Amino acid sequence: MFKLVFLIFEILPVVFYVSFLRRNKHEGLQVVFIYSLISVAVEFVAPVLRREFDISSFYFYACFTIIEYLLLTIFLYFSIKDARLRYIPIIGTVAFFATVVANFLHKREGNFDSLPASVENVLIIIYSIIFLYGQIKDPSILFVYYTKKFWVVIACFIYFSATLFLFLYASNFSPQDHNKYWYINNIFDIIKNIFFCIAFSMKKNKAPNPIENYYADI
């Protein structure tokens, strides 16, 4: 039952993006849509591939981690307005790929690529904080929560914060432990998808500008 709910919520952002396509045009959310699409594909195709071709979960998760990191970093890189802070995702990406290569060379057993996934979590959290810092500093943005990007970043921020410890321990999990604890990931994945749906369904330029309204009243 929970698995079914999880799968439904996995599909919902894609449905919302397509349904509100006009609202999401020129909003820089295409990357997030591709990410949602790949997430859905992974949930449905992964079990089949694993069963049919006997591919190890490790490679599977490793590939998904890289794609997920790249897509979200591209989104956050273009969302960060301050040019001086944009070098952080570039440095972070170098560090991330160094970790991926090191992890691939030294440790290929286990079910989960714990180290790259944890590094990814930490880096995405850092980028999210940088993005939010930029939003606070930007005087043209009056209510952050009226922007689509804010909800996407919040979704990532909460998801990656909540799953950091889970991913840190995940490589040491037995299949029983995996089943026991993996619901944490699923719950926060559902929350993330709800936030994505909110972002995709929001109207463009919905933000009421109290200062503009104030002048309009004069």
Partner 1 sequence: MILLEATNPGSNVSLVLYFGTIGMLALTIGLIVFIIFHQRKVIRYQLRLQRMEQDQQKLLLNASIRLQEEERQRIAADLHDDAGPLLATARLYLNENLVNLDKTTQLQSIYNAKQIIDDTIQLIRNISHSLMPPTLKNFGLESAVNDLFQKISGSGSMNASSRFHDYRERLQAENELIIFRVIQELVNNILKHSNASFIHLTQNTSGEKFFIRLHHDGRGITQNDFNKLNKSNVGLGLKNIQSRLKVLHGKIFFEKDMSQTYYKVTIELIKEEEDKLREQE
Interface residue list for partner 1 (CB under 8 A) = 125, 129, 132, 135-136, 139, 142-145, 154, 157-158, 161-166, 168-169, 172, 177, 181, 184, 210-211, 214-215, 218
CB closer to partner 1, 87 vs 214: 214
Q: How far is the CB of 120 from partner 1 (least distance, A)?
A: 15
- What 3-state DSSP class applies to 171? coil
The least CB distance from residue 105 to partner 1, in Å, is 27
CB of 79 to partner 1, least distance (A): 15
Q: Considering beta carbons, is residue 15 or 125 the nearer one to partner 1?
A: 125
Minimum CB–partner distance for residue 205 and partner 1 (Å): 17
Q: Return d(Cα 99, Cα 89) in angstroms, integer.
A: 15
Tokens, residue 29: 């959310």
Place of tokens 């170098």: 94
Q: DSSP assignment of 134-149, as one string?
A: HHHH-TT-S-GGGSHH
Which lies closer to partner 1 via its Cβ, residue 37 or residue 144?
A: 144
Residue 37 CB partners (closer than 8 Å, separation 6+): 14
Smallest gap, in angstroms, from Cβ of residue 36 to partner 1? 21
For the bound state, the minimum distance from the C-beta of residue 157 to partner 1, rounded and expressed in Å, comes to: 6
| 29 or 124: CB nearest partner 1 | 124
- Measured from the CB atom, the residue of 102 and 212 that comes closer to partner 1 is 212
Between CA 148 and CA 23 the distance in angstroms is 10
Nearer to partner 1, 40 or 156 (CB): 156
The per-residue DSSP string of 89-122 comes to HHHHHHHHHHHHHHHHHH---SSS-HHHHHHHHH
- Cα separations (Å) of 85 from 133, 138, 142? 10, 14, 21
CB burial of 1-27 (b: ≥16 within 10 Å; e: otherwise) equals: eeeeebeebbbbbbebbeebeebbeeb
